[in-house]
Amino acid sequence: MTYDRTTIWLHWVTAFLVVTLWGLAQIIDFWPQGGSGRVNVRSLHVLLGMVLIVVMTLRVIWRHSGGRRLPPAEGGMLGLLAKLIHAVLYVALAVALVAGVANTWVRGDSFFGLFKLVSFAPGDRATRLLIGSVHELATNAILVVAGFHAAAALFHHFVQRDGVLRRMVPGG
């Protein structure tokens, strides 16, 4: 049995957005400070980040309403480990998204040059650095844990040759 189409769609949009957001964040520094290029790339990061907030909200609502939930593919400790990894991913995503919003807000950045957010702690460098670090730490944790999670799914598919990966593929 596979997950339903909505769950599958939401899973892959999440994965795509996380990787894109992380990649975008890495290239922000390529543009000179104060220039419009840098403002635009950062704004795109914030815009896609807000899309991910909507996607994750829908995902959690759907999971607790009509979404199909499947039992762990494996019994025993491995099943528990898979559940734990999924829970860590949800928590790390929540922390990263909340810290992302706080980061935008504390920095008081311009959004595509259209308007500027008013910082909630202007001139408070320590708070700004702390929020930036929490955001960075949570996003890096997602990447590492999701990498392990993806490797496990690929191991199931190509080595154990079972149907775990197909549970998350349309028509699988």
Integer CA distances (angstroms), 59 to 90, 127, 154, 162, in order:
10, 31, 23, 26
Q: How far is the CB of 155 from ligand HEM (least distance, A)?
A: 10
Considering all CA atoms of the chain, what is the largest pairwise distance in Å, rounded to the nearest integer?
56
Q: Please state whether beta strands 110-111 and 115-116 pair in parallel, antiparallel, or not at all (unpaired).
A: antiparallel
Query: And the tokens for 152?
Result: 């496990």
Q: How far is the CB of 140 from ligand HEM (least distance, A)?
A: 7
Residue 27: which residues within 8 A CB-CB, separation 6 or more? 41
C-beta pairs of 70-78 under 8 Å, 24+ apart in sequence: 70/1, 70/3, 70/167, 73/156, 73/162, 73/163, 73/164, 73/167
Binding of ligand HEM at residue 128 (CB under 6 A)? Answer: no
Binding of ligand HEM at residue 4 (CB under 6 A)? Answer: no
Which of the residues 87 through 116 are near ligand HEM (CB under 6 A)?
89-90, 93, 96-97, 100-101, 103-104, 107
Binding of ligand HEM at residue 28 (CB under 6 A)? Answer: yes
Q: Could you give the string, one character per residue 140-159, with x where binding to ligand HEM holds by CB under 6 A and - elsewhere?
A: --x---x--xx--xx-----
Q: Which residues bind ligand HEM (CB under 6 A)?
A: 11, 14-15, 18, 21-22, 25, 28, 42, 45-46, 49-50, 52-53, 63, 70, 72-73, 82, 86, 89-90, 93, 96-97, 100-101, 103-104, 107, 132, 135-136, 139, 142, 146, 149-150, 153-154, 164-165, 167-168
